[in-house]
A and B are shown apart, each in its own frame.
Chain A
C-alpha cells in the first residue's frame, strides 16, 4: 500500500461524501418543517468508501501481478465440473439439493414458497433468453413480449373459452414461438445495436397494443379472475395451490435445463455458436443463417411463453404493467450476470437477481441501492459473469501414436 493509493482513496471518499450528501445527510421533516442534519452518516460514507477504494486497488494490484504468470488453475466452471464428476460427491450433492427443493414448501411459509416460485420462473426465462443472447449472440431487448404473449394467451383463452391451464400451456408456447418467428423475419439482416433497437421496439409494441386495445385485452385494467392450474380436477386451497405451482415450476426448470443442455451440444447448438462468432464464415461453411436465427428466436420465445402461462395462473390477474422494458432488462441482466451461455451461471444469476432484492428488504430504503452496488461490483470483478461458459471436450486415442 503506497501513498498514491491512500491519496486516491481519500479522493474517492471525499467524492462520495459530496455525492451522497443530499441523500444521506440532509433529511427534511415535512411535518415539522425542519431539516435534520445527520452528520454521522457522512462519516460512515467517508470511512466506507475509503476502505472500499483501498480494497479495490489492492485487488487490482494483485490481479495485475498475476497477469503474465500462467495460471495452472482451470476456469471455475471446469473446476466445478471436475469436482462434481466424482460420483462419491455427485450423488450426495444432487441428493441434498433435490431433497431441499422438495421439502422447501413444507419447511417455509407460503410467502417464501411464492418468492422461490418467482425465482424459478426467472431461471426458465433466463435460460430461454440465454438461447437467443448467450448462444446465438442476438441481443434481444424485447424478450418480455413473448412472456406477455404466453400470459395473455392463458388469460384470454381462459376467460373467453374456459380453456384450462394444461391445454393452454402448449398453446401459449406455440403462440410465443410464432411471435418469435414473426420478430425474427424483419430482423434477419440486422446485427448488434440495430437488432437491439428493433427488438426493444417490438417489446414495446406488444405492450402498447395490450395497453390500448381495450376490446381485446381490457387495456390497463387488465384481466382478473384467471383460474389457477387444476390438479386432476381436485379443488385446491390457496396454500396448496402455491405449493402445487412451486412443484410445477420446479419440474419446468428441470425440463428446461435438460433441453437447453442437450441443445447446446447438438448440431443446431453449434450452429448458433458459429452464428454468434462470425456470421459470414458460418454461412460460407454451409449453415443456413435464416433457419438458424429463426430457430433461436422461436426456441427462446417458447420458454417465455410457457412461463407466461404459469405467471398468469400464479397471479390470477395480469395487466400490461407486468411486461415493461424493465422486465426484459432484468432477464437480460440475469443472463449477463450469470455468464452468457452457461446454464449454471444463469441459474445462479436468476437466484441472485430475484432473491437478493427480496431478502434485502431488511435494508428498507437502501435495498435497491445495495442491489445496484452489488451488480456494479459483480461486473467489475467478474465481467465474464459468475460462471463463464466452457465448451465440451472430447477424448481421442491417437491412431498414429
Chain B
C-alpha cells in the first residue's frame, strides 16, 4: 500500500448547476495512487452528482476533472462520453444497482471487458483464431474476477436472481473488469448486513492492494472510518472538511452538518 505522490484523479473547482440549483459548488478533490478515499455528507449533499459529473454522465458547468492513470498522460475528462472515460481507466458502481438483469452473472462481468477488447462484426461471424482467443480471455478474466469477489458459484444465474449483497459485489466485479486505475463506489455497503459489510471491507482493501485506487461514497461510518486513508466531507454541494478519519471526526463543521448546531455552541 505504497502511496505515490501523483494524483490519479484531480478535481479542481468543479461546479454543476441544474437550472438555478447549484448541486456542486467549487469542489476540489484529489485521489492518489494506492489510496482509499471516502466522500461523505448528509443526504442531498451532492455526492452522487459528483460521481455523475466525474464519470461523464453529466457534463459539469465549470471546473476541471483530470485523470492520470499510472504511467500515462493526464487527460481532461470534462465533456467526454462515459464510455471513453471508462476506457481511460475509471469505473464506477451505482447507488441504485444497475445490473444487466436478464444477462447471466458472468456475462455482466464480460461486458466490463468490452472496452479492453476489439472484435467486431466480422470477428463475431467468422470467429478467426484471434477472436476465439480474445473471447476465451474475456471468459477467463471475468471468471477470475468473480472468484475474487466470491460469486464463482453463481456464474450462470441471471443477475436479477442474486441477493442484494451479491448484486452489490457483482457491480464491483463488473467495474473491475474494465481494469480501472480508479474505482468509484457509490454506497457499496447500502443494504448489507454486518457480516457482508465486513467482507466488503476486506474486498475493498484487496482491490486497493491490487493497484486500484478507490473513491467511495458511504453512509456506514464504521466502514468509512476503518477503511479510508482520507475523507472529504460535503454539504450543500460544497466541501466542508477534509483530512484523515481522526481529523474529520473532530472537525466542528462536520459535527454541525451531521448533528445540527447546539444552542450553546
Interface residues of B in 104-140 (CB under 8 A from A): 104, 106-107, 110-112, 114-117, 119-121, 123-125, 127, 131, 134-135, 138-139
Q: How large is the interface on A (under 10, 10 to 19, 20 to 34, 35 or more residues)?
A: 20 to 34
Pick from B103, B147, B178: contact of A274, CB below 8 A. B103
Please tell me if the beta carbons of B124 and A287 are within 8 angstroms of each other in the complex.
no
Measured between alpha carbons, how far is A392 from B56 in the docked complex, in Å? Answer: 32
A-chain residues with CB within 8 Å of residue B127 when the two chains form the complex: 262
Q: How large is the interface on B (under 10, 10 to 19, 20 to 34, 35 or more residues)?
A: 35 or more
Please tell me if the beta carbons of B156 and A394 are within 8 angstroms of each other in the complex.
yes
Whether B81 sits at the interface, judged by CB under 8 Å, is: yes
Question: Closest approach, in angstroms, between the C-beta of B92 and any C-beta of chain A?
Answer: 6
Measured between alpha carbons, how far is A288 from B84 in the docked complex, in Å? Answer: 8
Please tell me if the beta carbons of A286 and B124 are within 8 angstroms of each other in the complex.
no
Closest to B81 in A: A283
> Per-residue CB proximity of A390-401 to B under 8 Å, as 1/0?
011110101110
- Contacts A286-B87, A391-B107; is A268 near B120 (CB within 8 Å)? yes
Measured between alpha carbons, how far is A295 from B123 in the docked complex, in Å? Answer: 14
Please tell me if the beta carbons of B83 and A278 are within 8 angstroms of each other in the complex.
no
Pick from A266, A277, A278, A287: contact of B115, CB below 8 A. A287
Pick from B114, B131, B134, B177: contact of A271, CB below 8 A. B114
- Contacts A274-B111, A283-B81; is A263 near B125 (CB within 8 Å)? yes
Whether A285 sits at the interface, judged by CB under 8 Å, is: yes
Identify which of B93-101, B205-213, B237-245 touches chain A: B93-101
- Contacts A269-B124, A281-B99; is A287 near B147 (CB within 8 Å)? no
B-chain residues with CB within 8 Å of residue A280 when the two chains form the complex: 57, 82, 98
Please tell me if the beta carbons of A286 and B115 are within 8 angstroms of each other in the complex.
yes
Whether A289 sits at the interface, judged by CB under 8 Å, is: yes
Question: Closest approach, in angstroms, between the C-beta of B14 and any C-beta of chain A?
Answer: 18
A-chain residues with CB within 8 Å of residue B145 when the two chains form the complex: none
Question: Closest approach, in angstroms, between the C-beta of B137 and any C-beta of chain A?
Answer: 11
A-chain residues with CB within 8 Å of residue B111 when the two chains form the complex: 270-271, 274, 282, 285, 287
Closest to B120 in A: A268
Whether B225 sits at the interface, judged by CB under 8 Å, is: no
Whether A267 sits at the interface, judged by CB under 8 Å, is: yes
- Contacts A394-B156, A396-B152; is A273 near B99 (CB within 8 Å)? no
Please tell me if the beta carbons of A400 and B147 are within 8 angstroms of each other in the complex.
yes
Please tell me if the beta carbons of A273 and B100 are within 8 angstroms of each other in the complex.
yes
Whether A299 sits at the interface, judged by CB under 8 Å, is: yes
> Per-residue CB proximity of A241-280 to B under 8 Å, as 1/0?
0000000000000000001001100111111011011101
Question: Closest approach, in angstroms, between the C-beta of A357 and any C-beta of chain B?
Answer: 32
> Per-residue CB proximity of A283-310 to B under 8 Å, as 1/0?
1111111000001000100000000000
- Contacts A274-B111, A284-B92, A396-B155; is A266 near B102 (CB within 8 Å)? no
Please tell me if the beta carbons of B92 and A266 are within 8 angstroms of each other in the complex.
no
Measured between alpha carbons, how far is A369 from B143 in the docked complex, in Å? Answer: 52
> Per-residue CB proximity of B145-157 to A under 8 Å, as 1/0?
0010000100110
Closest to A289 in B: B83
Please tell me if the beta carbons of B86 and A284 are within 8 angstroms of each other in the complex.
yes
Please tell me if the beta carbons of B98 and A281 are within 8 angstroms of each other in the complex.
yes
Interface residues of A in 305-323 (CB under 8 A from B): none
- Contacts A262-B127, A266-B119, A267-B117; is A285 near B152 (CB within 8 Å)? no
Measured between alpha carbons, how far is A3 from B154 in the docked complex, in Å? Answer: 47
Please tell me if the beta carbons of B121 and A295 are within 8 angstroms of each other in the complex.
yes
Measured between alpha carbons, how far is A295 from B111 in the docked complex, in Å? Answer: 17
Please tell me if the beta carbons of B83 and A270 are within 8 angstroms of each other in the complex.
no
- Contacts A270-B107, A286-B178; is A281 near B100 (CB within 8 Å)? yes
Whether B175 sits at the interface, judged by CB under 8 Å, is: yes
Please tell me if the beta carbons of B114 and A270 are within 8 angstroms of each other in the complex.
yes
B-chain residues with CB within 8 Å of residue A285 when the two chains form the complex: 83, 86, 91, 111-112, 114-115, 174-175, 177-178
Question: Closest approach, in angstroms, between the C-beta of B175 and any C-beta of chain A?
Answer: 7
Please tell me if the beta carbons of B104 and A268 are within 8 angstroms of each other in the complex.
no
Question: Closest approach, in angstroms, between the C-beta of A74 and any C-beta of chain B?
Answer: 12
Whether B181 sits at the interface, judged by CB under 8 Å, is: no
- Contacts A285-B111, A393-B104, A393-B156; is A266 near B123 (CB within 8 Å)? yes
Measured between alpha carbons, how far is A287 from B106 in the docked complex, in Å? Answer: 17
- Contacts A266-B124, A277-B101; is A394 near B112 (CB within 8 Å)? no
A-chain residues with CB within 8 Å of residue B57 when the two chains form the complex: 280, 283-284
Whether B68 sits at the interface, judged by CB under 8 Å, is: no
B-chain residues with CB within 8 Å of residue A262 when the two chains form the complex: 124-125, 127
Closest to A275 in B: B100
- Contacts A281-B98, A394-B155; is A286 near B86 (CB within 8 Å)? yes
Please tell me if the beta carbons of B121 and A396 are within 8 angstroms of each other in the complex.
no
Whether B25 sits at the interface, judged by CB under 8 Å, is: no
Whether B55 sits at the interface, judged by CB under 8 Å, is: yes
A-B contact pairs, 23 of them (CB 8 A): A262-B127, A263-B124, A266-B131, A267-B120, A269-B124, A270-B103, A270-B110, A270-B114, A271-B111, A273-B107, A281-B94, A283-B57, A283-B81, A285-B114, A285-B115, A285-B174, A286-B83, A286-B112, A286-B116, A287-B83, A288-B83, A394-B156, A398-B147
A residues sitting closer than 8 Å to B (CB atoms) are 259, 262-263, 266-271, 273-274, 276-278, 280-289, 295, 299, 391-394, 396, 398-400
Known: A266-B123, A268-B120, A394-B139. 13 other contacts (CB 8 A): A262-B127, A267-B134, A268-B124, A271-B114, A273-B100, A273-B103, A274-B100, A278-B98, A280-B98, A283-B82, A286-B178, A287-B115, A391-B158
